Amino acid sequence: MRARLRAVLVLLMAAVVTALSAPLAASRIDVEQQTMLTDRRDDARRLVSMAEAATTGADRISLLTDFRRYEQVHGVRVALFDLTPAVRLASSDTARWADPDVREHVAMALSGHRDVTGTRILPWQSRDLVVAEPVTRDGDVLGALVTLSPTQHLRHTGGVVVGVVAVAALLTLACCVAVASRIASWVLRPIGLLDRAAHEFGSGRLTARVVGESGPPELRRLAASFNDMATRVEAAIDRQRRFVADASHQLRNPLGALQLRIDQLEFALRPGHEEDHEHVRTEAKRLGHILDDLLRLARADASAGEPALVEVSAIVDERLLAWAPLARNRRITVTGGPHDPAYAWFEPTALSTSLDVVLDNALKFTPRGGAVSIRIRRDDDELAIAVSDTGPGLERDELARVTDRFWRSPRHQNVAGTGLGLSIASELLRQHGGRVEVEPTERGGLTVRLVLRAADHGLIAR
C-alpha cells in the first residue's frame, strides 16, 4: 500500500512539475526570440525606409548594394517583393524565397499587416526567422521587404534553456519523491502499527497491542477495536487454558483414589478375574498419563517464556546422557554426540521438554537391537536437531497428522502413549518461531526435526 500511495503522490507531483516547467521553458524561448525579432524588425524598417526613397534606377542599384552589405555584416538575407508578388531585388539568390512560409509572410505584408509575434522556433526546428514589412508610399502598398535570419544561436540558446529547465525539473522531482516517501510513511504509520500488531497476535503473541494515539479518527477507532478484540481473545484463551489445567489437576485426586481401590481389589477378587483386573489397572494408568500430558500441554500453551541465546549442542548432549540408561535397557544403539558448539534463540526449558518428547517417541517405537541417531545441522538462519529411528515409521498420509492432539496411528494403538507428545513439542517451538518437521527415513523409520532460529555468528563471537 505504501508503494501505491507513493506512486500516486509522485505522479501528481510529476504532473505539477511538468505543467510548470513546460510553460517556463516556452516563455524563456519566446523572450529570446522576441528580442531577436525586435532587432530584425527594426533593421527591416530602416531598410524599408531606404526602399521607399528609391525612385530611380540608380537608387535601386544603391539599395541592392546596401542589401548585400547588410547580409555580409549580419548574415541576414534581404529581398524586395513587388505586388505580383515577385522578387525585384535580393541580396542573394536562394530557393528559400519561394518557400510557402516566406510567401505567407509576404502576402501578410502586402495586405498591410505586420507579424507582431512571429512563429515560435523550437531548438529542434532547423529554419530561418522570417520578418516581412510592407513598403508603402503615400499610404499605398508598393511591395514587401523580407529578411531571412539564421537561427543557430537562437536554437542553441533555446536548447540550453530546455536543458536547464529539464535538470531543474528532475531535481525538483527527486525532492518530490523524497517528500512523497515521507508523506506516505507518515500517512501509513498508524496502519503499519496495526499491521505489525495483528501479525504478532496471529503468530501467537497474545499480548500484542496497537500502541500510540496518532492517525485519523477512523484508524484510532480501528486500533481501539483491535485492542479490545485482542483482550477478549486473550482472556477467552486464558480461561480455556485454566480450565484444562484445573480440570486435569482436579481429576488427579479422584484418579489416585480410584487407582488405590483398584490395587486393593486385587486381594478380594475371585480366581479367574486377574486378566480383567489388569486391564482396568492399565486403563487407569493410561488415564493418569493423559492427565499428565494435558497439564504439560496447558503449561506449554500458558507460558511461552522469553527466548535467550542457548547452546543447543550442550542441551542435546545432556538429554542424550539422561536417556542413555533407557536405551541400554532396550539394547538400542544411540549415535550422535558430543556435538560441535551450536547456538540458537530459544527458551532452554522448552527446548529440553521438546527434545525429551522426540527422544521418548524414538526409543518407544524402536525395537530391541535398533538404532537412534541424533545430529545438529545449520542451514542459513535455521538450526535443525534431527532425531532418526529404525522403528515402523508412518504412512505418507499419516505424516501430516502427527502433531494433532490425541492422534495416534491405528497400527500403534498397542504402544503406551496419549498422542499429545509431539503436539506439546510443536506448540513450544511455534511460540518461539520454530517448527516440527517429520519425514520417513530410508531405513523405514522416522526422522523428526526440531527447527530453531539460529544465532548470528558475530553475536556468538562477542
239-282: per-residue pLDDT in tens? Answer: 777 776 676 666 766 777 777 777 777 777 777 777 777 777 77
Helix (H/G/I), strand (E/B), else coil: 11: helix
Q: What is the pLDDT of residue 416?
A: 65
Give the structural domain span for 335: 304-461
Looking at the fold, whether 429 and 445 belong to one and the same domain comes out as: yes
- Dihedral sign for Cα 339, 341, 344, 346, please: positive
Q: E strands along 349-424, which residues?
A: 371-379, 382-389
Q: Higher model confidence: residue 305 or residue 57?
A: 57
Cα 205 from chain centroid? Answer: 24
In this structure, is residue 183 part of a structural domain?
Answer: no
**Which residue, 303, 328, 357, sits at the end of a domain?**
303
Instruction: Compute the distance between CA of residue 385 and CA of residue 438 in angstroms, rounded to an integer.
Output: 12
* Planar angle of CA 226, 232, 237, nearest 5 degrees: 125
What is the pLDDT averaged over residues 324-339? 86
**Which residue, 264, 284, 303, sits at the end of a domain?**
303
Instruction: Compute the distance between CA of residue 75 and CA of residue 55 in angstroms, rounded to an integer.
Output: 27
Looking at the fold, whether 266 and 314 belong to one and the same domain comes out as: no
**Which residue, 303, 336, 367, sits at the end of a domain?**
303
CATH of the domain at 423: 3.30.565.10
Q: What is the pLDDT of residue 282?
A: 74
**Burial classification of residue 124, based on how many CB atoms lie within 10 Å of its CB (0-12 exposed, 13-18 middle, 19 or more buried):** exposed
Instruction: Please tell me the pTM assigned to this model.
Output: 0.45
- According to DSSP, the residues that pair with 453 across neighbouring strands are 345, 382
Residue type, 70: Y
What are the pLDDT digits (tens) for 385-408?
Answer: 999 998 888 888 788 888 777 777
- The model's confidence at residue 462, banded by pLDDT at 50, 70 and 90, is very low
In this structure, is residue 195 part of a structural domain?
Answer: no
Looking at the fold, whether 325 and 418 belong to one and the same domain comes out as: yes
Looking at the fold, whether 20 and 135 belong to one and the same domain comes out as: yes
Q: E strands along 150-291, which residues?
A: none
Continuous H helices in 266-347:
274-302, 312-329
Looking at the fold, whether 218 and 343 belong to one and the same domain comes out as: no
Instruction: Compute the distance between CA of residue 39 and CA of residue 50 in angstroms, rounded to an integer.
Output: 17
Instruction: Compute the distance between CA of residue 163 and CA of residue 167 in angstroms, rounded to an integer.
Output: 6
Mean pLDDT, the chain, rounded, equals 79
Q: Taking 70 as the threshold, does the pLDDT of residue 378 lie above it?
A: yes
Least confident range of 33-47, 136-150, 181-195: 181-195
What are the pLDDT digits (tens) for 137-185?
Answer: 777 888 888 888 887 887 788 788 888 888 888 888 888 888 878 777 7
Instruction: Compute the distance between CA of residue 427 and CA of residue 430 in angstroms, rounded to an integer.
Output: 5
Q: What is the pLDDT of residue 450?
A: 92
Looking at the fold, whether 316 and 453 belong to one and the same domain comes out as: yes
Instruction: Compute the distance between CA of residue 52 and CA of residue 2 in angstroms, rounded to an integer.
Output: 73
Looking at the fold, whether 83 and 93 belong to one and the same domain comes out as: yes
Looking at the fold, whether 369 and 436 belong to one and the same domain comes out as: yes
Domains contained in the chain, number: 3
- The model's confidence at residue 75, banded by pLDDT at 50, 70 and 90, is confident
Looking at the fold, whether 291 and 362 belong to one and the same domain comes out as: no
Instruction: Compute the distance between CA of residue 113 and CA of residue 134 in angstroms, rounded to an integer.
Output: 8
Q: Taking 60 as the threshold, does the pLDDT of residue 457 lie above it?
A: no
> What are the backbone dihedrals phi and psi of residue 134, each rounded to the nearest 5 degrees, phi first?
-75, 145
Q: What is the pLDDT of residue 461?
A: 46
Looking at the fold, whether 329 and 422 belong to one and the same domain comes out as: yes
Least confident range of 25-29, 32-36, 403-407: 403-407
In this structure, is residue 185 part of a structural domain?
Answer: no
Looking at the fold, whether 96 and 212 belong to one and the same domain comes out as: no
Helix (H/G/I), strand (E/B), else coil: 193: helix
What are the pLDDT digits (tens) for 276-325?
Answer: 777 777 777 767 766 666 666 666 555 555 667 888 888 888 888 888 88
